Amino acid sequence: MQYNSYLKDALSLMACALFLTSCGSKSDNPTPTPPNPSGKTSTYIVTATIQASGSASTTMLFTPTILSEGSLSGNTGGKQTDGGGEFIYLKDNTYLYSIAYHQGGKTSTNSYILRNGTLVERNKKFQGNRFTTHGTFSDFLITCSTGIGPKTKADASGYLPQYFLLSYLNAPAETQTNNDTKLEQFSAENFLGNGEYVTLCGLLEHDGKLYSGVIPMGLSQYGGNVDAVWDGDTYKSGKWVKKGNEDLVKTQDGGQKSSSYKRGELQWTQYPNECHVAIFSDKDLKTKKVIKTDKISYPAGRFKSQYHQMIWPSSSGDLYVFSPSFAKSMRDARQKTTLPAGVVRIKKGTETFDTDYYYNLDNLTGNRGFQHVFPVGNDQFILYLYDKSLDQLTNQEYATQLAIFNAKTGGFINVTGLPAGVKKFGGRPYLEDGRAYLPVMSSLKPAIYVINLSTGQATRGLEVEATEISSVGRLREH
């Protein structure tokens, strides 16, 4: 299984380290039995951001022997790194990558392996495209965003179409390549046949194919310009603008960062009550099949410009597609979804939505929105919940509550035992022996909490003297 975590920024380096000190044992927090496939050496990896003087901080990687108790404090031990951002395991947890995301710019990647029982940072580091989502396929870590296509594709007005921009990091070969946007298979324009361009959310390898949530983004200048009629600064009509939506087309440039827009764009989708999943033949998107359901809205969690994966496999091999109904947060009623948060299924061996399966997650959560979903075994999924509905939120908040959902039975358990004043969670949980280990930032010191997946009871485990714990996982030798 692959694990990833979400760290806000990769920050400047400075000398700092940690050591592990033992605490009294906790009978309700048994020491997990580390998985050790084929007798290979493996070790826990905990990553954290350590604050020093002023605003300076650094990212550290640690190899503790236990997660359910003890404390780490700033003294000795640990590996300082200039990596950061999101930590992603691949190839049966034999490689660990960190991707530092620089908003609106490039990304930097570092990678790590376990060699003779020692954590080693590999020599090659790469700069990549800005990304808004990521995933893995075979030997590759793939990052993806949607951006400006090649100049040769400009329309008569000079507007450029939107294309998928992908970077492929080959873990065994330690190389990076980018996709060729001259190839039409990477076009994001009119992807669903309604004129809108799209972005992809999550990249999941399943049965030899690549699955991704399709998120319609509205009309780019390129799409909005098709058969466009303007009267001065008033947009009168266009091929892909729904009747009555003409005033949604921007008449001047504006916005900031991920919400910036250009004159002639129609920002955000006109079709918020649909969910699409793309099934690509391979990592290069050579051919695709798109399936659709109107039971849920688009499948994406959000934080700023990031789109969080909502398509995950269960232990039985079925795929579950979640939608938090983020389009509840849209300001204009024409772009606001009327659908509750929900989950649908693609049964094992099929490439269609199961018409007999659906759960209304608003009913189960008490109308709390959610930001992340991750599989935790036995057809169960952990939801990172907000404390309110998405129609009261933007894409700037972190989830602060947890729940466990059984996709097979519809069972739902709120996680209890978390500390007061939770601020955020540190990425994807690490799973072992029926328990999930998850970094929690709160009014207390950052700590890894141990969650019993049968009862939903969380217990405080390993503490870290740090600004935040960004990830926990296990790395093993080849």
Q: State the DSSP string of 112-169.
A: EEEETTEEEE-S--EEE---SEEEEETTEEEEEEEEE--GGG--TT-PPPEEEEEEEE
- The pLDDT assigned to 38 comes to 56
Q: Show contacts of 204-208: CB within 8 Å, 24+ apart.
A: 204/135, 204/309, 204/311, 204/312, 204/313, 204/319, 205/135, 205/136, 205/137, 205/138, 206/313, 206/319, 207/349
Contacts 24+ apart (CB under 8 A), 328-335: 328/369, 328/389, 328/390, 328/391, 329/390, 329/391, 329/393, 329/394, 329/395, 330/268, 330/272, 332/248, 334/244, 334/245, 334/248, 334/270, 335/248, 335/268, 335/269, 335/270, 335/272
Q: Are strands 71-74 and 458-464 parallel, antiparallel or unpaired?
A: parallel
E-state strands within 189-240: 197-206, 209-219, 229-231, 234-237
Closest CA to 186 of 175, 194, 197: 197
Secondary structure class of 258 (helix, strand, coil): helix
Look at residues 385, 367, 350 and name the one whose alpha carbon lies nearest to residue 279.
350
Using a 10 angstrom Cβ sphere, with 0-12 exposed, 13-18 middle and 19 or more buried, the burial of residue 35 is middle
pLDDT of residue 75: 63
Q: For the CA atoms of the chain, what is the radius of gyration?
A: 22
Q: Which of 227, 202, 224 is nearest to 278 (CA)?
A: 202
Strand pairing partners for 425?
440
C-alpha count within 13 angstroms, C-beta hemisphere, residue 366: 10
CA-nearest of 465, 419, 467, 468 to 439 is: 468
* Number of helices (H), then strands (E), in the chain: 2, 38
Distance CA 470, CA 9 (A): 10
Query: Which two three-digit tokens encode residue 220?
Result: 């780019």
Give how far the C-alpha of residue 289 lies from the chain's centroid of Cα atoms, to the nearest Å. Answer: 22
Which residue carries 């392996």 as its tokens?
113
Below-70 pLDDT ranges, the chain: 1-39, 52-53, 74-76, 102-104
How much is the pTM?
Answer: 0.91
203-218 b/e with 16+ CB inside 10 Å = b? Answer: bbbbeebbbbbbbbbb
- Are the beta carbons of 198 and 188 closer than 8 angstroms? yes
What is the number of other CB atoms lying within 10 angstroms of the CB of residue 468?
21
CA dist., res. 423 & res. 291, Å (int): 37
Instruction: Write down all domains in the chain, each with its CATH number in brackets.
Output: 4-476 (2.130.10.10)
Distances (CA, A) of 120 to 138, 176, 334: 22, 19, 52
For residue 67, the Cα-to-chain-centroid distance in whole angstroms is 24
